[in-house]
A and B are shown apart, each in its own frame.
Chain A
Amino acid sequence: MENKERKVINKRDTIIMVLIIIFALACAFIPKLADDGGYAVIKCGDVVAARLELNKDGDYTFPEFEGMVFTVADGAISVTKSNCGDHTCMRTGSISRSGEVIVCVPNKAAITIESKEQSDLDVVLK
């Protein structure tokens, strides 16, 4: 009995440690996200202008982006109207995975995704 007490790490410790390690790894690799379909984060320059839930379909407008319409449908977001000259933002189409981005340089708008469906890409070349 005394012997057991002196052991630095006994069997129960090992089990607890393994469980904690698994929990720690899970915390590190599974992103902390809401239970629903994720969010579109719309930034104006470096300031977050809006966070839209991707499971709430609709057309959205914001005072920061005059003339722009953001459309959420089928768990994805797209820019469906813009007053910018080049319309690069509209041509990007819809995005739904983290790592993807829609950009409108003239309006300084950038849309990124916070989603359960993680993209495994470090960067998208365009």
Chain B
Amino acid sequence: MAESRFQKITAAALIVATLASCGVSSGFAENSDFIFDTYTHTLICGNKPDETISGLNRIFSKLDTSLSLCYNTPAVQLPDNQAYSDCIAKSRALTDKYGKGINIACGELTALWGISTDAPKVPTENEIAELLKKIPQNDSFTETTKLDFGAVAKGYACDKAYELLATTDTDYATVSLGSSTLLYGAKPNGEFRAGVTNPDNAEGYLGIIETDAAFISTSGGYERFFEADGKRYSHILDMETGYPVETDLTSVTVIIPADTEDGGIMSDFLSTLIYIQGTDELGKWLAYEEFELVAADVNGIVYTDCGGFTLDKDSGYSYGK
């Protein structure tokens, strides 16, 4: 009698413990790595989470090789040729829909500046002017053009992560690829919470976004830049001038529901494009229904149409109209 009672109680306790920590018959697995020239972190809660992590890692390392700045490899020899042509087609479609500003054919320009290398440098005006004449547009480059998928690769990888996760028994997952993130599934005790880094102070937050499953991308000049002769050069280049973009925005975050087709690449592309265009064009972007955004400008004003966003009261920023 005493034993069966003990068994009942133990069984009840085990069930509660399991339910409390994760879903039914689920486990956690997490992994961090350096891919896409950034620190990546993945957390999976679900059935067979380790297998899911391995699957994601395989996808990411293939994509990293296909889409990184190793543009001298002919596309036919790449391990994931599909990703290469996919990113080209989707970048063109996004440019057609949302406008010019991001040119994946700018690989030569990126290389000239040495952006994201150990030795970035300021080219001469002449070098830039000569190169600008040669750089083709998104829709007119040839097989020998050097491509730069910097504004779309991580977002595209989030799309691929979503596709894989949808085939697994995963309760929820966070896939963080630096500037692009996938928040997948549903957490047992509420929405996902994402902190937006304060562009003026890397130790603090601009605010917190509470959201259901979503693709989120952030662009800004505050993290990746280099200084030469006392001037700061960000890693995002202006395709008109050939110089790092001069914008009055300091940080732009785009949030797209996770069930949106190609939502990852779209969030990556849009956060960069909106950042480049500055506050003048913000009204247009805020009017779109298919995504939400949080933008901060140089005057300490935050513009947002994101219902889940809460401004950090210690951020030094205030809401615009």
Give me the interface of A with B, judged by CB distance under 8 Å. Answer: 5, 9, 13, 16-17, 20-21, 23-25, 27-29, 43, 45-46, 84-86, 88, 91-95, 99, 101, 103, 105-106, 108, 110, 112, 119-126
- Specify which chain B residues have a CB less than 8 angstroms from the CB of A120 in the assembled complex: 193
Are the CB atoms of B20 and A24 closer together than 8 Å? yes
Smallest CB gap from B43: residue in A:
A122
Are the CB atoms of A123 and B192 closer together than 8 Å? yes
Report 11 cross-chain contacts, Cβ distance below 8 Å, ordered by A residue: A13-B8, A20-B13, A46-B32, A46-B33, A85-B118, A93-B203, A112-B32, A122-B193, A123-B41, A123-B216, A124-B205
Smallest CB gap from B176: residue in A:
A123
Smallest CB gap from A14: residue in B:
B9
Return the contact of A85 from the options B33, B176, B226 (Cβ within 8 A).
Answer: B226
Smallest CB gap from B204: residue in A:
A93
Are the CB atoms of A24 and B16 closer together than 8 Å? yes
Q: Interface-forming stretch among B100-108, B177-185, B299-307?
A: B177-185
Are the CB atoms of A43 and B13 closer together than 8 Å? no
Complex A-B, nearest 4 residue pairs according to Cβ-Cβ distance, in ascending order = A28-B20, A103-B39, A24-B17, A93-B203
Determine how close the nearest CB of chain A comes to the CB of B268; give it in whole angstroms. Answer: 12
Return the contact of A123 from the options B20, B183, B223, B226 (Cβ within 8 A).
Answer: B183
Are the CB atoms of A43 and B32 closer together than 8 Å? yes
Take A28-B21, A86-B226, A125-B181 as given contacts and tell me if A17 and B12 are in contact as well, using a CB distance cutoff of 8 Å: yes
Return the contact of B195 from the options A94, A112, A125 (Cβ within 8 A).
Answer: A125
Take A45-B33, A108-B34 as given contacts and tell me if A121 and B194 are in contact as well, using a CB distance cutoff of 8 Å: yes
Contact with A along B6-39 (1 / 0, CB 8 A): 0011001110110011000000000111100111
Determine how close the nearest CB of chain A comes to the CB of B300; give it in whole angstroms. Answer: 19
B208 contacts the other chain (CB 8 A)? yes
- Specify which chain B residues have a CB less than 8 angstroms from the CB of A45 in the assembled complex: 33-34
Contact with A along B186-198 (1 / 0, CB 8 A): 0100001111110
Are the CB atoms of A121 and B195 closer together than 8 Å? yes
Decide if the interface of chain A is mainly helix, strand, loop or mixed: mixed
Are the CB atoms of B197 and A122 closer together than 8 Å? no
Are the CB atoms of A91 and B202 closer together than 8 Å? yes
Determine how close the nearest CB of chain A comes to the CB of B277; give it in whole angstroms. Answer: 20
Take A24-B13, A125-B253 as given contacts and tell me if A5 and B183 are in contact as well, using a CB distance cutoff of 8 Å: no
- Specify which chain B residues have a CB less than 8 angstroms from the CB of A5 in the assembled complex: 1
Return the contact of A28 from the options B17, B38, B193 (Cβ within 8 A).
Answer: B17
Take A21-B12, A126-B223 as given contacts and tell me if A27 and B194 are in contact as well, using a CB distance cutoff of 8 Å: no
B134 contacts the other chain (CB 8 A)? no
CA distance A105 to B39 in the complex (A): 7
Determine how close the nearest CB of chain A comes to the CB of B250; give it in whole angstroms. Answer: 12
B218 contacts the other chain (CB 8 A)? yes
Determine how close the nearest CB of chain A comes to the CB of B56; give it in whole angstroms. Answer: 14
Return the contact of B38 from the options A24, A105, A112 (Cβ within 8 A).
Answer: A105
- Specify which chain B residues have a CB less than 8 angstroms from the CB of A91 in the assembled complex: 202, 223
Are the CB atoms of A125 and B194 closer together than 8 Å? yes
- Specify which chain B residues have a CB less than 8 angstroms from the CB of A28 in the assembled complex: 17, 20-21
- Specify which chain B residues have a CB less than 8 angstroms from the CB of A29 in the assembled complex: 20
Are the CB atoms of A92 and B203 closer together than 8 Å? yes
Return the contact of B193 from the options A16, A25, A121 (Cβ within 8 A).
Answer: A121
Smallest CB gap from B38: residue in A:
A105
Are the CB atoms of A25 and B223 closer together than 8 Å? no
- Specify which chain A residues have a CB less than 8 angstroms from the CB of B195 in the assembled complex: 99, 119, 121, 123-125
Are the CB atoms of B224 and A122 closer together than 8 Å? no
Determine how close the nearest CB of chain A comes to the CB of B203; give it in whole angstroms. Answer: 4
CA distance A21 to B119 in the complex (A): 58
- Specify which chain A residues have a CB less than 8 angstroms from the CB of B205 in the assembled complex: 124
Smallest CB gap from B198: residue in A:
A126
Smallest CB gap from A26: residue in B:
B20
Are the CB atoms of A122 and B183 closer together than 8 Å? yes
CA distance A124 to B38 in the complex (A): 14
